[in-house]
Amino acid sequence: MADRIFLDKQTPTVFKALSATAAEVRDRARELGLERILLELVNIRASQLNACTFCLDRHTRLALEAGETTQRLAVLPGWRETELFTPRERAALELAEAVTLVAAQHLDDADYERARTLLSDDEVSLVTWAAITINAFNRVSVFSRHPVRARNAPEP
């Protein structure tokens, strides 16, 4: 494999601005009471769709630290086929997939309205911003080929 420029290192001011956006989304979500696990599910699902191993590694660890279960993480790619996710989480995952796959599919009005019955307008906005920012981070890491290094500590 050819060496890649790490975009975050090559242009750190731009990466810092992206990181500030993500921090703002997390802060507003926390103020609103939006569950951290819900946001991590959004981050993980978008990262699965984008095949971003670096972000998958990071956000899986963060989800586990926030109390997520390994069972739910294991079945996340098939979230529509299980009842393990709450209606709010399902709405957030649907929004995340619509943002991530925007070129291939759009969220129809009925699905959008269903999301708005389960999430407040502020929550819809923040979940959508979370999906937008993780997609940007995915592209930075995938393009840069950020490595995932083995950790010495055993997994929980």
Residues 6+ apart with CB under 8 A from 50: 100, 135, 138, 139, 142
Average pLDDT, consecutive stretches of 10 residues, N- to C-terminus, the chain (156 residues): 87 98 97 97 98 98 98 98 97 97 89 95 97 98 94 64
The type of residue at 22 is: A
pLDDT at position 105: 81
Residue from 1, 72, 79, 82 nearest 37 by CA: 72
Give domain limits for the chain: 10-144
Q: What is the CATH number of domain 10-144?
A: 1.20.1290.10
